[in-house]
A and B are shown apart, each in its own frame.
Chain A
């Protein structure tokens, strides 16, 4: 061999660095710098048409205006918006967790042939590769005033008036979120379930555990990493959403993401940046609370 081991190690280290460089450059240019720009601009002033690079707390002050005085106006707009967004988070998290886990559990433990398992798994994940907006508007013919659900309900004499709350409402927003994001729970939970040593379950059964006991005391604790990863996905996606809440809420329901989008459209960039910083801080807090060290790399 031409090179001695340390030299060879150094040269493969350099090669690896070069191979990782494109990814690092893209993330530096389009992720790290933009976040830094956001943090900086959130402390800038602005006029109707330009940014004023003078350090000010104006954007944060305006954002939390009236939030600290518990008068008759409490909660202030910002707190109300966050509470509304958090409400969607909790609802969607609950539904996607239960549905996503059940589906993953069925796939992992109740199918005998690997081919069937793979086929059904792909069947569940393929919609991820299609457009979210189209999957949202697909609900219109079903949930509208003249939609299939209302017609059926009237035909069955369950109601004599079409139900208004089916579409462009909190209900349709949650439904669409569950529709779109359940697979973000199914996939990581399925992954965790497939790694469980089946002998553990045999052992639990031999020790006299019932089906529910096995589920609760063996399977769910071992599926924890998948559950955590799925939860992070769902919560973060809902926290920052403005598209689903916009389309399915008939552009009438407030969310943090929507506030940012509206401020951007009014060219109030520093105000939008301050909102983004607060949103990001909250999301990071939630993630830290959820993880407490799940090594994502070991889960792949």
Chain B
């Protein structure tokens, strides 16, 4: 807007720079401190540089099997990522036309985003507890031996846990799809239809190629939001915890830079996924440009 950079610009730019420092500074601090020497502690100064704490981490943190949690989280996040992308895409596309209950569904989605996570988590835990009680009662009534002997709970990573994560990732997915379709050139769809394309063909050959890069964004949100989720998982996972929950537990017990190594590693996975998303985005654009 301003023709000449005024003092307001420099004041705001300085404020912005401080804000970025505030955002990234602390994380960079633990990145540096994770390479602390074996004698070093949780704070500066650095007592030499080493990979010592990564080695300790590799061998496992005390009683917690951190690598099992790591693998669990990775599996769950990948499933959440795929489901979020597919479900949000389908629902977002549905909103290009009118359907019964569209306002209700939209308000439910927004509600799912803004109802406090602890309430959602508690609700899912209660629901599955009631289902468990139902299964046990049914097993007793019908005298099914398997239920009495083997049945423990229906709660788990890919039942209640997956559902809890989807209530968090899907609203973001749908909102991104809205933003995408609001800017979508509708004439192209019409042209496709006028040329005799079936709804399926129009979707596959017109719509999908145009919105593909945005789907990378939805997938990115799906993965990272699930990878770091704590509040909604907290009550809804059953016995086995995800990585962030284990990490949260470790904050009170671990007093060595090992926790920084774990933190750096976890952030590294997020950074890697963000990087992959941007790389695929760039590749996609190059591919389109070459074809055009």
Contact = CB atoms under 8 A, between A and B. Distances in A.
Interface of A: 12-13, 15-20, 22-24, 26-27, 29-35, 37-38, 41, 51, 99, 102-103, 105-107, 109-110, 120, 123-124, 126-127, 129-142, 144, 146-148, 151, 179, 182, 198, 201, 211, 232-233, 236-237, 239-243, 246-247, 251, 257, 260-261, 264, 269, 272-273, 276, 279-280, 283, 287, 296-297, 300
Given A144-B42, A232-B114, A260-B119, 4 more contacts: A15-B97, A129-B228, A131-B228, A148-B29
A137 B15 contact: no
Nearest to A236: B114
Interface in B3-44: 8-9, 12-13, 15-16, 19-20, 22-27, 29-30, 33, 41-44
Interface string B92-118: 011111111110011011111011111
Interface of B: 1-2, 8-9, 12-13, 15-16, 19-20, 22-27, 29-30, 33, 41-44, 86-88, 90-91, 93-102, 105-106, 108-112, 114-120, 122-127, 129-130, 133, 160, 163-164, 166-167, 170, 174-175, 178-179, 182, 199, 220-221, 224-225, 227-228, 230-231, 234-235, 244, 247-248, 251-252, 259-260, 263, 266-267, 270-271, 273-274
B110 A296 contact: yes
A41 B118 CA distance: 16
Contacts of A273: 122, 126
Q: 3 tightest A-B contacts by CB? A: A240-B116, A34-B123, A138-B26
B284 to A, nearest CB: 17
Contact of B234 (A123, A261, A272, A279): A261
Q: A31, A32, A107: which has the most chain B beta carbons within 10 Å?
A: A31
Nearest to B248: A133
A300 B182 contact: yes
Contacts of B98: 13, 16
B127 A37 contact: yes
Contact of B266 (A120, A131, A141): A131
A140 B30 CA distance: 9
A129 B221 contact: yes
B179 A257 contact: no
Contacts of A264: 122, 125, 235
A52 B220 CA distance: 43
A23 B259 contact: no
A106 B91 contact: no
B266 A34 contact: no
B15 A106 contact: yes
A19 B93 contact: yes
A269 B231 CA distance: 17
A17 B94 contact: yes
Contact of B91 (A23, A239, A241, A296): A23
Contact of B26 (A51, A132, A142, A242): A142
A124 B20 contact: yes
11 contacts: A27-B167, A29-B163, A31-B123, A106-B13, A131-B227, A131-B228, A131-B270, A138-B26, A182-B19, A279-B116, A297-B178
Nearest to A50: B133
Nearest to B31: A138
Contact of B119 (A133, A139, A279): A279
A132 B110 CA distance: 22
A22 B133 CA distance: 27
A52 B225 CA distance: 36
Given A15-B199, A134-B266, A276 B30 contact: no
A261 B126 contact: no
Contacts of B20: 123-124
A38 B123 contact: yes
Contact of A236 (B26, B116, B130): B116
Contacts of A24: 101, 105, 108
Nearest to B1: A109
B16 A103 contact: yes
B127 A138 contact: no
A137 B115 contact: no
Contacts of A130: 27, 224, 228, 266-267, 270-271
B161 to A, nearest CB: 10
A288 B244 CA distance: 33
A136 B29 CA distance: 12
Nearest to A258: B118
Nearest to A176: B26
B105 A120 contact: no
Query: Which one of A123, A134, A257 has the highest number of Cβ atoms from chain B below 10 Å of its Cβ?
Result: A134
A300 B139 CA distance: 50
Nearest to A100: B19
Given A106-B12, A147-B43, A33 B127 contact: yes
A19 B94 contact: yes
Contacts of A276: 118-119, 122-123
A247 B163 CA distance: 26
Nearest to B23: A127
Interface centre among A15, A201, A239 (most CB of B within 10 A): A15
